[in-house]
Amino acid sequence: MLIVAAAAGALALTGCGGGTKNPKESGGSTGAQQPPADALKLPDLKGQKLQVIAVWTGPEGENFKKVLKEFEKRTGATVSYVPTQDAMLTYLGSKISGGTPPDVALLQQPGALKQAVANKWLKPLDADTQAQLDKNYSKGWKDIAAVDGTQYGVYYKAANKSLVWYNTKAFEDAGASEPKTWKDFLATAETISQSGVVPVSVGGSDGWTLTDWFENIYLSQAGPEKYDQLAKHEIKWTDPSVKDALTTMAQLFGKENYLVGGAKGAVGTAFPKSVENTFAGATPKGAMVFEGDFVAVNIAQAKAKLGTDAKVFPFPAVGDKSPVVTGGDVAVALKDTKAAKALMTFLASTDSAKISAGAGGFISPNKSVDLSAYPNDTLRNIAKALIGAGDDFRFDMSDQAPQSFGGTPGKGEWKILQDFVRNPKDIAGTQTKLETEAAAAYKN
């Protein structure tokens, strides 16, 4: 997540892998060796069952299940993993009302965490988990998982959401180079378009990708102070700074020939497909795809090799600096049981983070994880920059918003920005819709 522009530009890229299995499978043995003597001590939970809910499927889901299998091996518990693509709070609400809440869930938005606390769904961290958190996490990561001074969550996974990945051959054939500024980015897009390749593949059917486009542009152009104000709805979405950011965004999305499939394709393509469009096969449909460090997993799935077929550069500077937008997944407990507490403690430890780091496509905000745990220089450089940034980062704006506005498919900001991509000339109308929805969600 918290990658510094210079570090991102200097990434030495190597490959990372990952297989795909049925994401609903769980249990079994990892075949891993016994943990070392200094490993985290966990209780005997033989015969106890836990359910964990998260959004990860495909290779991300498979990699997370390696962590859960290690927990099973060390404790004797049985853990079932259930991925959901529904809005997390909606899904959890249905489980709770049905009397079957999961033991642990991983939420994508700080706003969702706050709402879950307000609904009295979550349990505060126990002493053992808090001890691991204090040992392994900086204040910034603890603060965004706390409500009114009480710690409820552990940020397990981080994401740098300010990267543009590109097809090396498409750039070489077009004679294009990595752009540093937004103006250069548009010029590069035109150069690639002239070569006969569509410049940008967008996964806009997953509306969160469009919020990430907006947030990177807005942070770089309007600056961190305005960003914080808009994130808290202390300024309105009808503010001139929002108009400026949407106008900038329209410079790309207003050109049909710059988008794979045009506007219709941009809002009709899922995020994984947008990566496949850029890197699968001998002839790419698009030359570039914007998104976080997790794109590396999808590139591997497309049978492309990092550093050879695929490279990356920081999101171009719209204002004085390239933006640094971050995101992450926070683990929370919905049951006050010995097993749920033990899993939360495990997720706050380096033991679990090392497993995920080694699997690839993962960055941990856990500052105690040795960089050697990561499988390649790309991830090591991103992780080093993340930890080195300390508390100086800006969290994904839509993730800070109430879920009804910033995190629900087909509604709120996701839907409004999809409509904007279809009609990027309607900047004023888009601002009005965003403000109406935001005011209702924030209740101010």
For the record, the structure tokens of 438 come out as 């935001």
Q: How confident is the model at residue 14 (pLDDT cuts 50, 70, 90)?
A: very low
Question: Tens digit of pLDDT for each residue in 145-201?
Answer: 999 999 999 999 998 899 999 999 999 999 999 999 999 999 999 999 999 999 999
Predicted local confidence at residue 36, as pLDDT:
65
Tell me, what's the pLDDT at 169?
A: 97
Residues with Cβ within 8 Å of residue 148, at least 6 apart in sequence: none
pLDDT digits (tens, 9 = 90+) for 289-343: 999 988 988 998 999 998 899 998 889 999 998 888 888 999 999 999 999 999 9
The mean per-residue pLDDT over the stretch 9-33 comes to: 34
- State the residue for tokens 């552990």: 154
Q: Is the pTM of this model over 0.95?
A: no
Q: What angle do CA 102, 350, 2 make, to 5 degrees?
A: 90
pLDDT tens for 224-272 read: 899 999 999 999 999 999 999 999 999 999 999 999 999 999 999 999 9
Between helices 240-253 and 208-222, what is the axis angle to 10°? 120
For the chain, what percent of residues have pLDDT higher than 70?
91
Average pLDDT, rounded, for the chain: 89
Among candidates 323, 275, 338, which has minimal Cα distance to 60? 275
Neighbouring residues of 11: CB distance < 8 A, sequence distance ≥ 6: 311, 312, 377, 378, 381, 382
Percent of the chain with pLDDT over 90: 74
Decide: 360 and 297 in contact? Cβ < 8 Å.
Answer: yes
Q: Are 408 and 37 in contact (CB under 8 A)?
A: no
Average pLDDT estimate for 207-221: 96
